[in-house]
Copies of this chain bind each other. A is one copy, B any other.
C-alpha cells in the first residue's frame, strides 16, 4: 500500500553525465531479484554524504564514512556498491571484514584502490553478510555497466535494486540551466520502515553533472538532507544504515560553483533540495502500512528547533497516527502530543490548531464553531495538512509522516519470515 505514489516512469529519469549504473541479481537474500547495484563515477567527481547517528551503525556506514573523508588522498571516490537483503549491522569485526572484502573485490575489477569504493547495505540486522554471493554478483553488475545502461532505465533498475519492504521504487529528476549550461540532478531512495530523522535517513543517492567545489557540495548536501530526509518519520526508529550521498561529476561544463550563496549555488541547492524532498516524501508515501500522508507544519515558535520538536512529537504519536488511520477526528491527541513535546515554558492557552481548511483549536481550547462533521470531512482525504501555531515567535518547521495501520503491524511482525 502507498499513498498517492506511483513508480517513476523511465522516460522521466534523466541520465547524469559521468555516472554509469549497473545492477545484478546476486541472490543476497533470495534469488530472482536485482539486489546488487554499482555506481561508477567519472574521474574528478566530488562526493558528499551524511550518515546515521545510530551508534550501532552498520559496518558499511563506518567504511563509507572513512572513504568519503579520504577522497582527497585516495584519488577520489570512483564507485559505490549497494546490496539489499542484509544490513551488515550488529555484525562486529566479521562484518567490517566483509565490507572491506566487497570494496576490494570491486576495486580489483575496476582497477581502483579499495578506498575509492563506497559500500552500502540494507536489509535485516545482525545476520552475517553473504559476502561471497555479493562478490560473485559484481562482474554481472559491471557488465550491465559496460554495455552502456547509463540511462534512465539504469536509474530505474537501481531504484528497484535497493528496495527492502518498499512497495514501489523511488526516483526523480530535475533539470536547471546555470550560466547557459543544462544541469541534471537525478536521485533514488529507499525506505519504508525504521524511518526516523537523525542526520540522514535510509538510503538516498543523488547525482548531478554540475561542476561544484567540494566545500559547496558539502554545504548543499547537509542543507538538503536537513530539509528533506531529516524531516520525515514513519515509526521513530533510526536505522543503523541511513546514508544519503550526493555525487557531482562536474561534466556539465558550467563554471565551477565555489560559493553556495552565489546565484548558481542557490540554483543548484534548490534543485538538490527539490529532488531530496521528493525522494524523502516518497519514502513516507510508501511507509509501511501507510494509508495517509500527513504534513505537519508548526508556526510561531521561538526557534526552528522547538517547532521541529513539536512537529515530531505529533508525528511520532501512535495515538495520533491510529486516529488518522481511522479517519477519526480524535484531535485532542494532537494537543496531548504538543503538550509533551518538551517545551517547558509553552503557554498552551495560546496554541491554535487547524486541519486542512478546518480551524479546530483557538487559544488552547476547542472552537465553538468546530463541528464533528467538519472534523470527519477533513480526516477523509489521503493527503492531510496539520497546522499548529504556538504564538511565541517567528520560527516554523514542517515534517512529513504517515498513519499507523494494521498493515504496519503485519509487515513488521512478518518481516524476515
Pairwise interchain contact A331-B54, C-beta atoms closer than 8 A: no
Given the known interface contacts A316-B236, A318-B408, A336-B238, the answer about A343 and B55 at a Cβ–Cβ threshold of 8 Å is: yes
Cα distance, A416 to B318, chains bound together (Å): 16
A240 at the interface (CB under 8 A from B): yes
Pairwise interchain contact A336-B93, C-beta atoms closer than 8 A: no
Cα distance, A93 to B92, chains bound together (Å): 57
A402-417 vs B, CB cutoff 8 Å, 1 = contact: the mask equals 0011101110111111
**Closest beta carbon of chain B to A91's beta carbon, Å:** 6
User: Which residues of chain B are within 8 angstroms of A338 by Cβ–Cβ distance?
Assistant: 55-56
User: Which residues of chain B are within 8 angstroms of A343 by Cβ–Cβ distance?
Assistant: 55
| Closest B residue to A341 using CB positions | B55
Give residues of chain A (201-258) contacting chain B, Cβ–Cβ below 8 Å.
Answer: 235-240
Given the known interface contacts A319-B235, A412-B318, the answer about A90 and B330 at a Cβ–Cβ threshold of 8 Å is: no
Given the known interface contacts A94-B365, A319-B237, A340-B238, the answer about A56 and B124 at a Cβ–Cβ threshold of 8 Å is: no
Pairwise interchain contact B235-A330, C-beta atoms closer than 8 A: no
Cα distance, A331 to B127, chains bound together (Å): 10
Pairwise interchain contact B336-A125, C-beta atoms closer than 8 A: yes
A4 at the interface (CB under 8 A from B): no
Pairwise interchain contact A348-B56, C-beta atoms closer than 8 A: yes
Cα distance, A45 to B404, chains bound together (Å): 46
Pairwise interchain contact B339-A54, C-beta atoms closer than 8 A: yes
Pairwise interchain contact A339-B124, C-beta atoms closer than 8 A: no
User: Which residues of chain B are within 8 angstroms of A364 by Cβ–Cβ distance?
Assistant: 56, 90, 92
Pairwise interchain contact B55-A409, C-beta atoms closer than 8 A: no
Total copies of the chain? 2
User: Which residues of chain B are within 8 angstroms of A323 by Cβ–Cβ distance?
Assistant: 412-413
Q: Could you tell me the dominant secondary structure of chain A's interface residues?
A: loop
Size of interface on A: residues with Cβ below 8 Å to B: 71
**Closest beta carbon of chain B to A61's beta carbon, Å:** 11
Give residues of chain A (332-389) contacting chain B, Cβ–Cβ below 8 Å.
Answer: 332-333, 335-341, 343-344, 346, 348-349, 351, 361, 363-366
Pairwise interchain contact B332-A127, C-beta atoms closer than 8 A: yes
**Closest beta carbon of chain B to A321's beta carbon, Å:** 9
User: Which residues of chain B are within 8 angstroms of A187 by Cβ–Cβ distance?
Assistant: none
Given the known interface contacts A90-B361, A319-B412, A322-B409, the answer about A366 and B126 at a Cβ–Cβ threshold of 8 Å is: yes
Binding site for B on A (CB under 8 A): 53-57, 87, 89-95, 124-128, 193-194, 196, 198, 235-240, 316-319, 322-323, 325-326, 328, 330-333, 335-341, 343-344, 346, 348-349, 351, 361, 363-366, 404-406, 408-410, 412-417
Instruction: Give 10 A-B contacts (CB < 8 Å), ordered by A residue.
Output: A55-B343, A55-B348, A90-B335, A125-B330, A237-B337, A237-B340, A240-B335, A322-B413, A326-B412, A405-B409
